[in-house]
């Protein structure tokens, strides 16, 4: 009897936590004035473009040179995603030239806005790549204890969004971390998520700071496991139980690591039915580029908000351009895809 009551208590507690997430979604997301996108997101992560252009790359279609953002816009893309590193010039940072630091990212955001794009800002909370195998703290935060680290996340998030607003560019979606299924801001020797109490406090600090800086911004959490339902549910159930609230769930999908498109479809369909959050595939490659978009668009309840193709200008993504910047035939898939997804 005692074990049965304990189990019932846990289920009731989970139910209240999930209800709290639903209430937060309504009160802090859509009702705050952050309306749903008018159309399906056909997005691209174009964070490499400033570096490529500085190295001399010129983009073209049919032999005619054009701004790469104009090319994407005329081919049906309506959102861009930009990553931001804390201080990439630091030793062991992303690039001594400062690519993807705040000034470079602000400049690219202005270009994107001028070209008519909506903006998703991807906060890595690191001086370099953050992903399931690498979640290294910025050098500036290396020796902070748990409480100070949560404060640093909040201060940095608030200052970043305030800088964007001051520059006249406001991200409509902000990611609190990048591919954080294994946690982020690891301690020395850490390679996985081992301290939910500290991690959830850091997440909540970032979420609260983003909403304080801009009440209209939609906050996203981003997991790497697009084809792994068990791991996705494990993370989300823990986050809900810890009182973490957010507005959108982003997932990565790479067939090499996450399985065939059927695995993505099965996972997203279950998540759409089980949880309140709209879903976005924020990084993807696929043998057929239409498949992730069709899977997301077909999710029940209109939960599928859209996709962001991973780095279509090259350097390892499903490139829509050659190494010389010439548009590939695959780019011509997207005008029709955008029309289909808008229906």
Is 53 a residue of the active site? Answer: no
55 is catalytic: no
Domain tally for the chain? 1
Q: Which of 36, 53, 172, 179 is catalytic?
A: 179
The predicted pLDDT at position 194 comes to 87
The residues, any chain, with a CB within 8 Å of residue 231's CB and separated by 6 or more, are 181, 223, 225
Q: What is the model's pLDDT at position 28?
A: 37
Host domain of residue 175: 2-342
What are the two backbone dihedrals, phi and then psi, of residue 244, each rounded to the nearest 5 degrees? -80, 125
What CATH number does the domain containing 294 carry?
3.20.20.80
Q: How far lies 227's CA from each of 258, 261, 341, in Å?
A: 5, 8, 22
Give pLDDT, residue 317.
Answer: 63
Task: Say which of 11, 190, 283, 291 is annotated catalytic.
Answer: 283
Question: How does pLDDT run along the chain (343 residues), one tens digit per residue?
Answer: 434 444 444 344 444 444 444 434 333 333 333 334 448 999 999 999 999 999 999 999 999 999 999 999 999 999 999 999 999 999 999 999 999 999 999 999 999 999 999 999 999 999 999 999 999 999 999 999 999 999 999 999 999 999 999 999 999 999 999 999 999 999 877 888 989 999 999 999 999 999 999 999 999 999 999 999 999 999 999 999 999 999 999 999 999 899 999 999 999 999 999 999 999 999 998 777 899 999 999 999 999 999 999 999 987 666 899 988 999 999 999 999 898 887 6
Contacts of 65 (CB under 8 A, 6+ apart): 58, 59
Please tell me the predicted confidence (pLDDT) of residue 14: 42
The confidence score (pLDDT) of residue 340 equals 87
The per-residue pLDDT for 175 is: 98
pTM, to two decimals: 0.89
CA distances from 159 to 1, 16, 165, 169 (A): 52, 33, 10, 14
Tell me what pLDDT residue 207 has.
98
């Amino acid at each position: 009897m005692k074990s049965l009551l304990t189990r019932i208590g846990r289920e009731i507690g989970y139910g209240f936590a999930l209800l709290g997430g639903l209430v937060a979604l309504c009160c802090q997301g859509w009702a705050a004035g952050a309306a749903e996108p008018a159309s399906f997101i056909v997005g691209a992560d174009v964070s490499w473009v400033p570096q490529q252009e500085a190295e001399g790359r010129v983009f073209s279609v049919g032999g005619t040179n054009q701004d790469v953002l104009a090319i994407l816009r005329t081919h049906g893309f309506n959102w861009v995603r930009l990553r931001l590193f804390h201080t990439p010039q630091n030793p062991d940072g992303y690039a001594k030239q400062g690519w993807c630091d705040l000034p470079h990212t602000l400049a690219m955001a202005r270009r994107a806005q001028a070209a008519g794009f909506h903006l998703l800002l991807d906060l890595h909370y690191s001086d370099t790549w953050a992903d399931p195998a690498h979640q290294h703290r910025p050098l500036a935060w290396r020796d902070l204890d748990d409480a100070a680290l949560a404060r640093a996340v909040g201060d940095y998030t608030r200052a970043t969004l305030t800088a964007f607003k001051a520059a006249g560019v406001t991200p409509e979606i902000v990611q609190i971390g990048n591919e954080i299924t294994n946690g982020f801001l690891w301690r020395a020797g850490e390679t996985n998520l081992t301290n939910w109490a500290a991690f959830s406090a850091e997440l909540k600090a970032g979420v609260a700071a983003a909403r304080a800086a801009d009440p209209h911004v939609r906050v996203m959490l981003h997991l790497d496991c697009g084809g792994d339902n068990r791991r996705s549910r494990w993370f989300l159930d823990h986050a809900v139980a810890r009182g973490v609230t957010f507005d959108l769930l982003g997932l990565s999908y790479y067939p090499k690591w996450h399985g065939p498109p059927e695995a993505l479809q099965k996972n997203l369909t279950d998540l759409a039915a089980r949880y309140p959050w709209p879903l976005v595939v924020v990084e993807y490659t696929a043998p057929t580029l239409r498949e992730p978009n069709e899977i997301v668009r077909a999710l029940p309840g209109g939960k599928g908000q859209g996709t962001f193709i991973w780095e279509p200008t090259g350097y390892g993504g499903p490139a829509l351009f050659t190494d010389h910047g010439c548009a590939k035939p695959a780019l011509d898939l997207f005008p029709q895809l955008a029309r289909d997804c808008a229906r």
